[in-house]
Amino acid sequence: MSDYKGTALVINFWATWCPPCVAEMPSLDRLKAILDDSGIDVLAINEDRDGATMALKFYEANGITNLDVLIDRKMALVKAAEVTGLPTTLLVDADGNEIAAVIGETEWDSPDVVALVKACLLPES
């Protein structure tokens, strides 16, 4: 996660066996495109046991093109974040502070949610 120091983040923990995770991934992928060049990055961290293989197949089958394939091989990140269910999404400011946690499926690219993410994570002008 040190690669993202100084960057506001939307961090989503998901798995291919989780129906709500699967349902929200296309909107999370679109959110990444919407927030491009905003100073906010979107990370989708996969928690499947088969890791990259399952995630890559899912991305290809579902047209996920904006999100990077990120794997939490030993579940270290999900444990450190004290995630108790999937999907869970954390909003983390550029200083590394958790601003909010969203548990469950969300329509991430809806105008209201995009505005909320920006309001939470972008410094006031």
Q: What is the dihedral of CA 28, 31, 33, 39, to 10 degrees?
A: -120
CA dist 40 and 32 (Å) reads 9
3-state class of 103 per DSSP?
strand
Whole-structure pTM value: 0.95
Q: Evaluate if residue 3 carries a pLDDT over 90.
A: no
**33-72, pLDDT tens digit by residue?**
999 999 999 999 999 988 789 999 999 999 999 999 999 9
User: What is the structure's pLDDT at 65?
Assistant: 98
The arithmetic mean of pLDDT across residues 83-88, rounded, is: 97
- 88-92 and 8-14 beta bridge pairing: antiparallel
- Residue 10 C-beta-side C-alpha neighbours within 13 Å: 33
**HSE on the CB side for 39, CA within 13 Å?**
12
Share of the chain above pLDDT 70, in %: 98
Average predicted confidence (pLDDT) for the chain: 95
Contacts 24+ apart (CB under 8 A), 55-60: 55/16, 57/16, 58/16, 58/22, 58/25
